[in-house]
Amino acid sequence: METINIFKNIVFELRNWYITKKNVSMDIFNDFNDFTILKIIKLHFFVVAINSEDQPDLLDQNTFHAMPYGPVETRVYDYYKSKKGNFDGLFIISNDRITFTEGAIPPEINANLKQQIRNSIEKLEKLEPNLIIAGAGSLVELTHTWNSWKKYYNLAKSKESYSELMPNEEIKKDKKIVNLNYIS
């Protein structure tokens, strides 16, 4: 459950980044955001991975698999499917956007992990300010530039599979590409 609660906290912080970047209210965010499950899962990967060399605790709470659309934390995705997008009444992820419940607050997690989430988002904002407003397809393309994804997705395909565990050590040592200029 810790992985899911970390994910929920990340989603709240991503929402805050988007609201600040677009200078919109919560109501406008709920009505007009583009936070599909695909976009959120890609952003989740970037948040968890970006500082993993120096602050590995966040990554160590997650398990990513190389899949056709990039790295996926399968426990998070399985939870999403089993709950039909409803994350315990805090927010609901539909096919085209996420809607937060009025007054919802993220669940408590370890203070160190919460700070690591904030540090990661601050770093992402500095490295690529437009990452939060990029489309899901662009984020998928960006994850496909990571060597850890390439290596383990190719391994999956060699086994006639669509999924292969990405060892955390491989993610930690990977070149952290988040600049949208790296994709077409």
| Tens-place pLDDT, residues 128-140 | 999 999 999 999 9
% the chain with pLDDT above 90:
97
- Contact criterion met (CB below 8 Å) for 134 and 46: no
The model's pLDDT over 162-178, given as tens digits with 9 standing for 90+, comes to: 999 999 999 999 999 99
> Is residue 25's pLDDT more than 80?
yes
Q: Which stretch of 70-74, 92-96, 146-150, 152-156 has the lowest confidence by average pLDDT?
A: 92-96
What local confidence, expressed as pLDDT, does residue 1 receive? 76
What local confidence, expressed as pLDDT, does residue 184 receive? 67
What local confidence, expressed as pLDDT, does residue 75 receive? 97
DSSP letters for the chain: -HHHHHHHHHHHHHHHHHHHHHT--HHHHHHH----HHHHHHHHHHHHHHTTTT-THHHHT--EEEETTEEEEHHHHHHHHHTTTEETTTEEE-SS-EEEPTT--PPP--HHHHHHHHHHHHHHHHH-TTGGGS-HHHHHHHHTT-HHHHHHHHHHHHTT-S-EEE-HHHHHHS-----GGG--
Q: Phi and psi dihedrals of 86, rounded to 5?
A: -90, 110
**Mean pLDDT value across residues 27-53:** 97
Our measurement of the distance from residue 43's CA atom to the centroid of its chain's CA atoms, rounded to an integer in Å, reads 3
% the chain with pLDDT above 70:
99
**Mean pLDDT value across residues 78-105:** 96
Furthest C-alpha separation in the chain: 48
Q: Where exactly are the structural domains of the chain? A: 1-182
Whether pTM > 0.85 for this model: the answer is yes
